[in-house]
Every structure is written in C-alpha cells, then in structure tokens.
Amino acid sequence: MSLEPTPHGKVAVFTAGSWGTAFSMVLADAGNEVAMWARRDEVARAVNEQHENPDYQPGVELPPSVSATTDVEKALHGADMVVLATPSQSLRAGLTEWAPFIEKDAVIVSLMKGVELGTLERMSEVIAQVTGAGPERIAVVSGPNLSPEIARREPAASVVACAEESVAKLIQARIHSPAFRPYTSTDVLGCELGGAYKNVVALAVGMAVGLGFGDNTTASVITRGLAETARLATQLGANPLTLMGLAGLGDLVATCSSPLSRNRTFGEKLGRGMTTEEIYASTRQVAEGAKSCSSLLALARSRGVDAPIAEHVEAVVAGRMTAQQMMDSFIARDTKAEAD
C-alpha cells in the first residue's frame, strides 16, 4: 500500500485526545475517512453514537466520517496514513504495541511537540526506531494550531514536513481542508525543534503573566526564546528559515499569546505560586514543555549551546527556583550582543 494522492483513503489517528480529535475533523473535512483509536471504551462510544468527544473537545460535533474504536487492528486496517498524537513521553510504549498492525508502506505523521526524556530523541526518531520506517514514510505536521480553534474551524495554516518532498506534497493534499492550509517543507528537524521549544518558552511567558508582568516582558521572553530555539536548532542542522516560519515563530506567537495554551497556563500557575505537583493534579491534559524542558536542556548542553530559558524553566518546574527568581536572573545575566 502506498499513499493515495486523493483524499479518499483511510487515516488512523492515535489517539482521541484534544489534538487527535481536532485533527480528525481536519482530515474528515479534507475528504478522508478517519478511524480514531481511543484508550477508553466510553470515549469510542461517545464518538460513534453522539459524534462528540466530551472529554477532549466538549460541545463540538464531529463529522460522520470520523469514527472511533479501542481495537488497534481495526483502527489500522486499510489505513494508508497513520497520525500520531499522544503525549511525547508515551509515544514509544504506545507505538511499540501499535506498530505490528501498521500497513506496510503506510505514511506515519507525527503531530507531537516534545523530545523524549533520557534518549533526547525527537518524535520522528522514535517513530523510525520503533517502526523501522524510512524517512520517506515519516512526516511531521506542526504550526500555530491550538486545537479548540481548529475544532471551531477557524482558519489556520501549518507545515507538513517530510524528508521526501513528494510525500510532503501528498500529505498536504490529504489534509488541506476549507479551514486548514498546510505548507510543505523538507526540514523535519527544524519543525520538530520549533514545536517542542515553543512549549518551554510558553512556560516562561506564562510565568511572567502569572507574576503580573505585561507585554514588554512577554515580548522580550518570546523574542529571546526564538533566538534560543534557532541557536539550538541550527546547531543540530535545521534551516534557520524554518524557525522564522509557521512551525517556529508562528507557533511560538500563538502558544505564548493564548490563554488556550496548556503550556502557557501551566507557566501562569507556576507564576502564581502553585507547585508542579499541584498543577499536574489540576489538569488531565498534557503540557509538553514541563517534561521537554529537561530533554531540550540536555540536548543543548550536549551541543554546548547556551539555553538560559530552558535552564531556568527546568529549575522552576523542578522546584529549585521560583518564577520571580527566574525573571530576576534573566535580567541580571551577563550582558552581551543581541546576535551572540
């Protein structure tokens, strides 16, 4: 089986969380038949019987071509595209169970924005290892795509990146819906780094907001966050222009500006004095930056890249520093040229 150029094929989506559900709507609106895999039977039943996922996109009516199942084999049977949207730290374990049922030659698309703890691997690298798929079968979709807005079909753009440009174009055709405009790229690494790093920057911005600071502070953190992201990503081989695009600056602005962002909200709660444990207890949804700050910091250190935002965010999340101490420390750092 190889990827159909027309949007009439079947797409399997793992799993039925906030983004998996909203992206299933994009896929359905673009003409695909979508099978979401859900961990819990009540979620699958609600999707099939009420056309709603009340846990993750409450009040949103799902198109009839979106169904859900808890049966891995059934979800994957006949799917020429497999979309992965789990928390990054859970991907390896989940995919190990799903991989044997993925159709030969199916294209695997990551929607995830994190870096694995311990291995420091990006999601496309984990996918390659677990499934044995080559780079021509692995793609990433990343951009300013807050799922509640996508689920309301508000217009948005994104990037679909694959090392093999012709495959990126096929996926682009399969996910281009009336409200969702994908651009292609071959810079998988740049898109993944942009997506993961913006979550860490959003935590820092959220902390500034939680402390009561205004737009000068947040704009300063966002801009220095972009510089930090670009420094590491280009050191690892990304195209610097990717970081200025939708998967870099675009997503950074959306996430850092929006109260809908789980990462910014997590940071805001830290800024207001809640502990990491209290915040985890207050939400069921993932804030990837709270974990990826550690892996991105380790990645930066392994490459000798200066990463003060990741370093400070990691310290606040780990409880070794307060948000106020982080802001004080940012200002007090040794002064330098902006371009350094």
Q: Which residues bind ligand 13P (CB under 6 A)?
A: 113, 144-146, 199, 202, 251, 254-255, 261-263, 288
Query: 74, 104, 198, 336: which one is catalytic?
Result: 198
H helix or E strand, kind and range, residue 201 = helix 188-210
Q: How many residues are given for the chain?
A: 340
Q: Does 111 bind ligand NAI (CB under 6 A)?
A: yes
- Is 329 assigned to a binding site? no
Beta bridge partners of residue 84, listed in sequence order? 14, 110
85 contact choice in ligand NAI, ligand 13P, none (CB below 5 to 8 Å, kind-dependent): ligand NAI
CA-nearest of 113, 183, 107 to 147 is 113
Check: CB of residue 157 under 8 Å from CB of residue 182: yes
- Is 264 assigned to a binding site? no
Q: Residue written as tokens 């930056």?
A: 289
88 contact choice in ligand 13P, ligand NAI, none (CB below 5 to 8 Å, kind-dependent): ligand NAI
Of the candidate residues 86, 217, 257, 294, the single one contacting ligand NAI (CB under 6 A):
86
The least distance separating ligand NAI from the CB of residue 87, rounded to whole angstroms, comes to: 5
Check: CB of residue 184 under 8 Å from CB of residue 160: yes
Whether cis (ω within 30° of 0) applies to the bond prior to 15 is yes
Is residue 74 part of the annotated active site? The answer reads: no
Write phi, then psi, for 298 (nearest 5 degrees).
-65, -40
**Which stretch in 172-180, 210-218, 240-248, 285-293 sits in contact with ligand NAI by CB under 6 A?**
285-293
The least distance separating ligand NAI from the CB of residue 115, rounded to whole angstroms, comes to: 10
Q: What one-letter code names the amino acid at 230?
A: A
The least distance separating ligand NAI from the CB of residue 253, rounded to whole angstroms, comes to: 14
- Is 336 assigned to a binding site? no
Q: Does 124 bind ligand NAI (CB under 6 A)?
A: no
The least distance separating ligand NAI from the CB of residue 194, rounded to whole angstroms, comes to: 12
Residue 98 vs 211, nearer CB to ligand NAI: 98
Check: CB of residue 66 under 8 Å from CB of residue 92: no
Q: What is the CA radius of gyration of the chain?
A: 19
The least distance separating ligand 13P from the CB of residue 182, rounded to whole angstroms, comes to: 14
- Is 18 assigned to a binding site? yes
CA distance 227 to 171: 30
CA distance 238 to 284: 33
Q: What one-letter code names the amino acid at 116?
A: E
CA distance 27 to 16: 14
- Is 288 assigned to a binding site? yes
Q: Residue written as tokens 């039977």?
A: 41
In Å, the largest CA–CA distance within the chain is 60
**Which stretch in 144-152, 213-221, 227-235, 241-249 sits in contact with ligand NAI by CB under 6 A?**
144-152
Q: What one-letter code names the amino acid at 194?
A: G
- Is 231 assigned to a binding site? no
CA distance 198 to 247: 9
Of the candidate residues 28, 56, 229, 305, the single one contacting ligand NAI (CB under 6 A):
56
- Is 107 assigned to a binding site? no
202 contact choice in ligand NAI, ligand 13P, none (CB below 5 to 8 Å, kind-dependent): ligand 13P
90 contact choice in ligand 13P, ligand NAI, none (CB below 5 to 8 Å, kind-dependent): ligand NAI
Beta bridge partners of residue 156, listed in sequence order? 180
Q: Which residue's CB comes closest to ligand NAI?
A: 17
The least distance separating ligand 13P from the CB of residue 178, rounded to whole angstroms, comes to: 20
H helix or E strand, kind and range, residue 34 = strand 33-37
Binding site, annotated residues for sn-glycerol 3-phosphate: 113, 143, 198, 251, 261-263
Q: Which residues bind ligand NAI (CB under 6 A)?
A: 15-20, 39, 56, 85-88, 90, 94, 111-114, 145-147, 285-286, 288
Catalytic residues: 198
